[in-house]
Amino acid sequence: MNPRMRLFCRLGLLGLFVVCSATALEPLAPLTPDTEERASIREILHELDKHHYRHLTLDDTFSSELLDLYLK
């Protein structure tokens, strides 16, 4: 590879690094469900609670257990 090509590759990588670093510094807006999404979540949880063959309590403890099983 000739010196000119190396220079262009290095400048390209440097530019890519700068752009990626700049976008990583932007704070992300918190995700909050709107009213329609909240209603959908409530309906899904209600149907699961009512029609699932195992009557489980869908709470933080259950969610934590599922996450632990998923991560194993």
pLDDT tens profile 1-42: 688 888 888 888 888 887 777 666 667 788 898 999 999 999
| Residue 54 φ/ψ region, left for φ over 0, alpha for ψ in the -120 to 50 degree band, beta for the rest | beta
In a domain, 70, yes or no: yes
Is there a domain that residue 25 lies in?
Answer: no
pLDDT greater at residue 27 or residue 67: 67
Q: Residue 18 domain-assigned? A: no
pLDDT of residue 64: 92
Total number of domains in the chain: 1
Q: Does 22 reside within a domain?
A: no
Q: How confident is the model at residue 50 (pLDDT cuts 50, 70, 90)?
A: confident
Residue 65 lies in a domain: yes
The amino acid occupying position 60 is: D
Domain that holds residue 65: 34-72
pTM over 0.75: no
Separation of CA 18 from chain center: 24
In a domain, 27, yes or no: no
